[in-house]
Amino acid sequence: DTGVSQDPRHKITKRGQNVTFRCDPISEHNRLYWYRQTLGQGPEFLTYFQNEAQLEKSRLLSDRFSAERPKGSFSTLEIQRTEQGDSAMYLCASSRDRGRPSTDTQYFGPGTRLTVL
Amino acid sequence: QKEVEQNSGPLSVPEGAIASLNCTYSDRGSQSFFWYRQYSGKSPELIMSIYSNGDKEDGRFTAQLNKASQYVSLLIRDSQPSDSATYLCAVRGEGYQLIWGAGTKLIIKP
């Protein structure tokens, strides 16, 4: 396994601009998760995919956020009309579906740090 | 609202001593529990998972789960300065979503 990769690692943008992040999961991992983490807090769940299907989306996720995983491999997370409150570390994780949620183990990528000026 | 609570610390432990980290959770139906380590500016790294009541050992790390009391703990034996990090507790209920604590900052003093 080469690990979960994310691109870019850092992004600085101005308020109102759109940004897009990419995540490549561990090969053969069919589940992919997006989280957001701010300083001093644990990761906050945003959404997850099983293959190309988006199965759950946090109520905290506003309409400005959208995620895709078109071919069941890499995923993108787009934030439209960024706000200063969007500044955070955006984390991607992946796991292999073993048929039972209880044993699902998530492995994280290095994250994308977003700064909105 | 499902919650996971951790003492934010910092918890200061002398090198070579045992570090004890605790986590409580509100959802009695939670089925699986995870400890992640996070260095400053880095992403969480899985240390251990535990699913059944009792202890689970992996090297210097021991996870302890008590479902009746709704707490899970992590013991680090022979603490090293490289163990200094924030330790995150994550809990899963019926689905795949993890609920996270805010983490405990651990400092190992040489």
pLDDT tens for residues B57-104? 999 999 999 999 999 999 999 999 999 999 999 998 767 788 999 999
Higher model confidence: residue A2 or residue B6? B6
pLDDT at position A60: 72
Higher model confidence: residue B9 or residue B96? B9
Strand A112-116 relative to strand A10-13, pairing: parallel
Among the listed ranges A21-35, A53-67, B32-46, B73-87, which one has the minimum average pLDDT value? A53-67
Q: Do A45 and B49 touch (CB under 8 A)?
A: no
Asked if B94 is an interface residue toward chain A (Cβ–Cβ < 8 A), one would say yes
Distance from CA of B67 to the nearest CA of A (A): 15
pLDDT at position B94: 66
Contacts with B99 from chain A: Cβ below 8 Å: 45
Higher model confidence: residue B23 or residue A63? B23
Given B8, B90, B95, which is nearest A56 (Cβ)? B95
3 state DSSP class of B44: coil
Cα A61 to chain centroid, rounded: 12
Higher model confidence: residue A1 or residue B50? B50
Q: CA A117 to CA A115: how far, in whole Å? A: 6
Distance from CA of B22 to the nearest CA of A (A): 15
Contacts with A105 from chain B: Cβ below 8 Å: 34, 46, 49
> Which single residue is written with the structure tokens 């995150």?
B88
pLDDT at position A99: 72
Classify B81 in phi/psi space as left (phi over 0), alpha (psi -120 to 50) or beta: alpha
Beta bridge partners of B86: B38, B105
User: For chain B, what percent of residues have pLDDT higher than 70?
Assistant: 99
Residue in chain A nearest B48 by alpha carbon: A105
pLDDT at position A98: 75
Structure tokens at A12: 């600085």
Mean predicted lDDT score pLDDT of chain A: 92
Q: For the beta carbon of residue B55, count every other beta carbon within 10 angstroms.
A: 12
